[in-house]
Amino acid sequence: MAMRLWVLFSMVLGLISVSSAQQISSLLERANQEVSRVVERALPAVVTVEVRIDGRSIRSSGFVIDTAGFVVCSADGLSGQPRATVYTYAGDSLEANVAGVDRITGIALLRVPSTAALREALSWGESERVPIGSTAILIGNRAGLEGSVTVGTLGGKDRVGVRRDNQRMVLLLQFNGTVGAGEQGAPLLDTQGRVIGVIVGDLASVEGAPVSAVSIVGFAVPAEIAQRVVNDLRTRGRAEHAWLGIDYQGLPTGVVVRRVVPNSPAAQAGIQVGDLITQFDGKPIRSAGDLTRALYFARPNQSVQLTLMREGQILTVSVVLGKQSL
């Protein structure tokens, strides 16, 4: 009797194992199909951007955001040139003018006068709604290989990067997937094919750690910031960001002020070196990422309340944020 029960139990376990393996295989197959569908839909809107300097070709990535002729790309990839050539995935070669450049985030916008070949465009998503660990898809021009696809995960949010060329801080998403040369300006997509980030150009550091040109971890400007920058570039030709006028560093208890720029909004409000910022308009500031995020989502000329800790005393100061554009 006991032997029969053991045989029956073993058969049931075997059936469960087979069923589980089939379910896992089915889930993986569906996931692969989902990614393939996203790539198939997105590829026609992903482009390669080329500029030539002294006979030398510099190629980077970009994507069509409006078939009326607007292409999002990397400021670093343009290398200060007023015009560029856009190559579509279908093989079309289109001349484009630079509509605007934001050197703070490293995002640029091109305008293509001849729009007949721009048949597909990507749409903005919301990185805020994408959970960490979710699948993210990068499509770009890796080392001259157009339409290169990398599938990874959203590895983190509110990372603080420092741009190499101007030492400006930029708020970033972390992409757990390799990013190669030429992929700055490429779209980072969610599983619906919406742009949740734009791969950033050359960074000196992220969270204080140096960044190499080719890395197993990539970084992107979140869609919420990128979309605002693109809209500014499209309507005004430049992007404007809120400016406080301090250098700061994250500590376990808040963000400490390391330098105050003379005549800046912070200086005019009486903020001093050594002050610990603990709140921004009532929202807790626990890290450098919190403050960087708050400033990127604020607007120039906005009045905000900062809560400070100074020599054991809690202070509240009102600051009218300034404007920075580069």
Determine how many CB atoms are found less than 10 A away from the CB of residue 81.
Answer: 13
Note the pLDDT of residue 209.
83
Is the pLDDT at 196 greater than 50? The verdict is yes
Note the pLDDT of residue 5.
46
The verdict on 107 and 147 lying in the same domain is no
List all residues 6 or more positions away from 223 whose beta carbon is below 8 Å from its beta carbon: 124, 125, 126, 127, 194, 195, 196, 197, 198
**What are the backbone angles phi and psi of residue 224, rounded to the nearest 5°?**
-60, -40
What is the mean pLDDT of the segment spanning 265-284? 95
User: Is 58 a member of any domain?
Assistant: yes
Alpha carbon of 165 to those of 62, 103, 120, 209, 244: distances in Å? 20, 9, 33, 16, 21
**CB-CB contact of 85 with 141 (8 Å):** no
The verdict on 168 and 192 lying in the same domain is yes
Is the pLDDT at 15 greater than 60? The verdict is no
User: Is 319 a member of any domain?
Assistant: yes
Enter the DSSP assignment of 51: E
Pick the last residue of a domain from 56, 81, 111: 111
Q: Which of 191, 184, 186 is nearest to 154 (CA)?
A: 191
- Render pLDDT for 102-150 as a digit per residue (tens, 0 to 9): 999 999 999 999 888 899 999 999 999 999 999 999 999 998 899 999 9
User: Is 120 a member of any domain?
Assistant: no
The verdict on 223 and 154 lying in the same domain is yes
- pTM for the full predicted model: 0.87
Q: How far apart are the first and last CA of the chain?
A: 83
What is the mean pLDDT of the segment spanning 286-290? 91
What is the mean pLDDT of the segment spanning 274-301? 94
Query: What does the DSSP assignment read for 139-155?
Result: EEEETTEEEEEEEEEEE
The verdict on 223 and 245 lying in the same domain is no
**CB-CB contact of 219 with 159 (8 Å):** yes
Boundaries of domain holding 307 = 241-324
Enter the DSSP assignment of 165: T
Residue that has been written with the tokens 């839909």 in this structure: 41
For all residues of the chain together, what is the average pLDDT? 90
In percent, the amount of the chain with pLDDT more than 70 equals 90
What is the mean pLDDT of the segment spanning 67-88? 95
What is the mean pLDDT of the segment spanning 167-182? 92
Classify residue 282 as left (phi > 0), alpha (psi -120 to 50) or beta.
Answer: left
- Render pLDDT for 218-240 as a digit per residue (tens, 0 to 9): 999 999 999 999 999 999 999 99
User: Is 31 a member of any domain?
Assistant: no
The verdict on 139 and 167 lying in the same domain is yes
Note the pLDDT of residue 221.
97
C-alpha 301 chain-centroid distance: 25
Residue 283 is part of a domain; what is its CATH number? 2.30.42.10
User: Is 19 a member of any domain?
Assistant: no
Determine how many CB atoms are found less than 10 A away from the CB of residue 296.
Answer: 21
Q: Which of 147, 159, 152 is nearest to 137 (CA)?
A: 152
Specify the number of domains making up the chain. 3
Note the pLDDT of residue 208.
79
- Render pLDDT for 293-326 as a digit per residue (tens, 0 to 9): 999 999 999 999 999 999 989 999 999 999 998 7
Res. 265 pLDDT band, cuts 50 70 90: very high
Res. 4 pLDDT band, cuts 50 70 90: low
Of residues 22 and 263, more confidently modeled: 263
Note the pLDDT of residue 3.
56
The verdict on 184 and 246 lying in the same domain is no
List all residues 6 or more positions away from 312 whose beta carbon is below 8 Å from its beta carbon: none
Residue 92 is part of a domain; what is its CATH number? 2.40.10.10
User: Is 21 a member of any domain?
Assistant: no
The verdict on 315 and 249 lying in the same domain is yes
**What are the backbone angles phi and psi of residue 232, rounded to the nearest 5°?**
-65, -45
The verdict on 151 and 215 lying in the same domain is yes
**What are the backbone angles phi and psi of residue 116, rounded to the nearest 5°?**
-60, -35
Q: How many CA atoms lie within 13 A of 13 on its CB side?
A: 6
Q: Which of 230, 140, 131, 146 is nearest to 190 (CA)?
A: 131
Pick the last residue of a domain from 170, 205, 229: 229
Is the pLDDT at 8 greater than 70? The verdict is no
The verdict on 225 and 175 lying in the same domain is yes
